Amino acid sequence: MRKLRFVLILSVLGVLAVFGVIAAQEGDVEPAVDSEPHQIQQLMINEPYAYPASAYEEPGGELEPVETDALVVLSDGLRLGSPERVGEAWVFPLFLKDPGGADYYTLAGAVEEGVLGINELESAEVNTVELVWETKRPLFILAGQMIQGAKQDRVFSRDVLLEDRGRGPLPVYCVESGRWSGGPTVFTAGKMVVGNEVRGAVNLQADQGYVWAKVSEVQDSVGQYSDTSAYRVVLESEEVDAVIEKLGDVFGDFAEEGACGVLLFGGGYVLGLDLFDNAGLFGELSDELTVAYSTQVAVLEEGTGHPEPGKLMKEFVDGLGGLATFAYPGESVGAGEFVVVNDRGVSGGFLDDGGRVVHLMLTQTPPEGAE
């Protein structure tokens, strides 16, 4: 019955397309480095490590189906709150019956405090960077989070949960196709998450060319361009900036009320869903997430708004457990298992840490003619 309801709700939303899927490979994790936390940045610059060839394998093959009841358990304890309207979009808070209590480091905080270093590999691969970390708290990195500098801006290809200390390569995507420059090889935290238009491709492990195409589409949609085709130029749009401010207020209020995430609906489809283990983690990342939704909301045409779609969205949330799931290809740095979601136009992924979902992200393919 759960799967039947979900098929019906997707039919109502008019989903007509499914992304193509190309998987990405990762390499083995090397043993933890023997370093003090304050030595991490220096270590990365002065002691490059030669990773095995398997760390640089090109994307290829198809994702393998995997059975998990994580989404069933999650949806059973999930409650949809009363929405707020931002432009032509509806923003719903998501509440968990049993939120987690972990105190997570986020990417920006970990980099600023020196417990995480991110560096170009010695061989400087477009789709791989090196992480070095030493932390006493779980450190969470979000798929689609940007890192800036080095040879070009990148985004992480999957959610990552780091513990204790270690060192290893991690797959990334380039979101600045027009630059490959010298200079410092250490990245800084970009303090933003790329738009869901791009995140959808990232979560499905699409090839690099497809991700660049999605970056160009977003830049075209808001009329912002740069000499290096850097994704972050979209922030120069006045319309996008105005939406970021409004979403920031709404997301912040929801986090203070105990919400663990948000679900956005506009233009006749689900713009995206982000759900975290607890309200604290959602609150820490809420400002960065506003960027992920801003370009979608900014380009929704006036008058395309839907009457308050609470019943429709409740059915969507209730049907999460029926989504098809796939194993993330290859080995990975960090704890937990990242699982890819791709089913009838809904795509994304979630990080499963011992049966508990640390983060779930979903987005939906717009139906034909959606504005």
Q: What's the pLDDT at 56?
A: 32
Q: Which is nearest to 30 in space by CA: 171, 197, 170, 196?
A: 170
| Cα–Cα distance, 251 to 161 (Å, whole number) | 23
Q: Bridge-partner residues for 131, per DSSP?
A: 118, 168
What is the C-alpha radius of gyration for the chain, rounded to an integer number of angstroms? 19
For the chain, the farthest-separated pair of C-alpha atoms sits apart, in whole angstroms, at 59
Q: List all residues 6 or more positions away from 122 whose beta carbon is below 8 Å from its beta carbon.
A: 48, 49, 50
| Alpha-carbon separation of residue 279 from 102, 243, 271, 337 (angstroms) | 10, 22, 21, 22
Beta strands in the chain (DSSP E): 64-65, 78-80, 84-86, 89-96, 105-106, 116-120, 128-141, 145-149, 154-156, 160-174, 187-193, 261-266, 269-276, 325-327, 337-343, 346-353, 356-364
**61 with 238: CB under 8 angstroms?**
no
Backbone angles phi, psi at 84, to 5 degrees: -115, 150
pLDDT beneath 50: ranges in the chain: 1-9, 11-61
| Cα–Cα distance, 183 to 316 (Å, whole number) | 48
Q: What's the pLDDT at 63?
A: 81
Q: What's the pLDDT at 47?
A: 38
Alpha carbon 109 to its chain's center: 17
Helix axes 196-203, 279-298, angle to 10 degrees: 120
**Structure token digits, residue 13:** 């939303």
| Cα–Cα distance, 321 to 331 (Å, whole number) | 25
Q: What's the pLDDT at 61?
A: 47
SS3 340: strand
Backbone angles phi, psi at 172, to 5 degrees: -140, 170
- pTM score: 0.84
Q: What's the pLDDT at 127?
A: 94
Q: What's the pLDDT at 370?
A: 57
| Cα–Cα distance, 338 to 328 (Å, whole number) | 6
| Alpha-carbon separation of residue 196 from 124, 132, 256 (angstroms) | 27, 28, 24
Q: Which is nearest to 204 in space by CA: 336, 356, 339?
A: 339
Q: Which is nearest to 364 in space by CA: 316, 326, 329?
A: 316
**354 with 284: CB under 8 angstroms?**
no
Helix axes 208-222, 279-298, angle to 10 degrees: 70
Q: What's the pLDDT at 292?
A: 96
Query: For the chain, how far is it from start to end, CA to CA, in angstroms?
Result: 32
